Amino acid sequence: MVGHTGILPAAEQAVKKLDTITKNLIDFCKKNTIHLLITADHGNCEEM
């Protein structure tokens, strides 16, 4: 929901945190032979 605020620094912080979490999740799945599918319905940060 941060992307809808229009506050760029908050959106940047959220994207960086999500990037770290996603990397950790992918690494875990690879290590444990787990299939992972990541989807998204839309973005907004890229338009700020």
Query: pLDDT digits over 1-38, tens only?
Result: 887 888 999 989 999 999 999 999 999 999 999 999 99
Contacts of 39 (CB under 8 A, 6+ apart): none
H-helix or E-strand spanning residue 20: helix 8-31
Cα(33)–Cα(31) distance, integer angstroms: 6
User: Measured on CA atoms in the order 42, 43, 44, 48, is the torsion positive or negative?
Assistant: negative
Whole-prediction pTM: 0.77
